[in-house]
C-alpha cells in the first residue's frame, strides 16, 4: 500500500475523510484503489448510511478475490461494520441475522489478515467481534484475544491498538464486577495515552479510572479526578455531560444533595443541546 490510510482519517469528521480518500484515488494503483474504496464506504457507515456503504463495497466485490490480503481483509471488515458496529443503534444488537452476517464477515477479515501477516487488521477484526457477542464475558474474551495479538506483534499498526484494547478489556472487567483488574487495565491504558500526548484520550482514560474508583467506593479519589476533568474540559470550552453525571453520583454518595442536583441540572442542560 503506497497510501497511508491512517493519516487520511479524521473519525470525528467522516465527510472530510471521504474527501481525502477520494482525492487519494487519483493516480492510485489497483490495490490501493480497492483499499481506499473500502475506507470511503466506512465513512458512510460512520454516518449510519449503511445501505450506501454496502453499495460502494458491492461495486468492488468482483475485484476483491484477486486482491492483496490487506485489501480483502479491509473489504470484509467494512462489510461487517455495515451490520454490527459502534455506529449502530442499540436495537441492532437484537437483530440475529445481521449479527450472524457480521460474524461471518469479521471471520473472513481475520483469516485474510492472518494470511497476509497484517497484525493490525487482525486485531481490528477480533475487536469487532465484541459488537457481535455483546455479553461482558464474551467482550472480555475477544478483548483478551486481541490484546494477545497486540503484545506479540512488533508491527506499529498492531502496537498502536494497545491502549484501545486495554480500555475495552477494562470496560468488560468493570461490567463483570472485577474492579481491581479493570482499574489495572485502565491505568496501563492511561500511561499509553500519556505517551501519545492526546489530551482528549487522556481525559477519557482518567474518566474510566474515576468511574471504576467510584465502583470500588473510593469516592474521594474519584471525586478529585472528576473535578479536575471538569476544569480541563471547561478550559477547552467542551464541558462533558459524562463528567457531570459522575459528579452527580459522587456527591449523592457523599450525601451532598444540593451539589448532586446542580450537576444533574448541568448534565440535563448539555443533553438538551445535543
What's the topology of domain 1-122? 1.25.40
Q: Where are the domains of the chain?
A: 1-122
pLDDT at 95: 86
Q: What is the pLDDT of residues 121-163, one digit of tens each?
A: 999 999 999 999 999 999 999 999 999 999 999 999 999 999 9
Q: Spell out the SS3 assignment of 184-236.
A: HHHHHHHHHHHHHCCHHHHHHHHHHHHHHHHHCCCHHHHHHHHHHHHHHHHHC
Non-local (6+) Cβ contacts of 260 within 8 A are 247, 248, 249, 251, 252
Q: Confirm if 79 and 59 have CB atoms less than 8 A apart.
A: no
Asked if 56 and 20 touch (Cβ cutoff 8 Å), the reply is no
pLDDT value of residue 104? 98
Asked if residue 75 lies in contact with residue 124, where contact means CB atoms within 8 angstroms, the answer is no
Q: Which residue has the cell 495479538?
A: 149
Question: Can you read off the three cell numbers belonging to residue 258?
Answer: 444540593
- Name the stretches of the chain with pLDDT < 70: 1-2, 274
What's the confidence (pLDDT) of residue 274? Answer: 60
pLDDT at 272: 80
User: What is residue 91's predicted lDDT score, i.e. its pLDDT?
Assistant: 75
Amino acid at each position: 500500500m503506497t497510501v497511508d490510510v491512517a493519516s487520511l482519517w479524521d473519525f470525528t469528521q467522516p465527510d472530510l475523510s471521504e474527501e481525502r480518500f477520494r482525492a487519494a484515488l487519483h493516480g492510485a494503483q489497483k490495490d490501493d484503489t480497492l483499499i481506499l474504496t473500502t475506507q470511503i464506504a466506512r465513512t458512510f457507515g460512520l454516518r449510519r448510511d449503511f445501505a450506501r456503504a454496502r453499495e460502494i463495497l458491492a461495486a468492488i466485490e468482483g475485484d476483491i478475490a484477486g486482491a492483496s490480503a490487506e485489501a480483502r481483509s479491509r473489504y470484509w471488515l467494512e462489510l461487517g461494520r455495515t451490520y454490527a458496529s459502534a455506529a449502530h443503534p442499540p436495537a441492532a444488537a437484537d437483530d440475529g441475522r445481521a449479527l450472524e452476517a457480521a460474524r461471518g464477515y469479521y471471520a473472513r477479515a481475520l483469516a485474510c489478515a492472518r494470511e497476509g501477516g497484517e497484525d493490525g487488521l487482525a486485531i481490528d477484526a477480533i475487536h469487532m467481534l465484541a459488537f457481535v457477542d455483546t455479553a461482558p464475558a464474551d467482550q472480555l474474551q475477544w478483548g483478551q484475544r486481541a490484546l494477545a495479538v497486540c503484545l506479540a506483534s512488533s508491527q506499529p499498526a498492531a502496537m498502536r491498538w494497545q491502549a484501545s484494547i486495554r480500555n475495552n478489556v477494562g470496560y468488560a472487567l468493570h461490567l463483570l464486577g472485577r474492579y481491581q483488574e479493570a482499574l489495572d487495565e485502565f491505568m496501563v491504558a492511561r500511561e499509553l495515552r500519556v505517551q501519545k500526548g492526546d489530551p482528549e484520550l487522556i481525559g477519557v482514560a482518567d474518566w474510566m479510572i474515576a468511574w471504576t474508583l467510584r465502583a470500588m467506593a473510593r469516592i474521594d479519589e474519584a471525586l478529585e479526578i472528576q473535578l479536575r476533568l471538569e476544569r480541563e474540559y471547561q478550559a477547552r470550552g467542551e464541558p462533558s455531560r459524562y463528567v457531570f453525571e459522575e459528579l452527580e453520583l459522587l456527591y449523592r454518595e457523599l450525601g451532598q444533595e444540593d451539589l448532586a442536583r446542580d450537576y444533574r441540572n448541568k448534565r440535563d442542560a448539555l443533553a438538551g443541546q445535543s
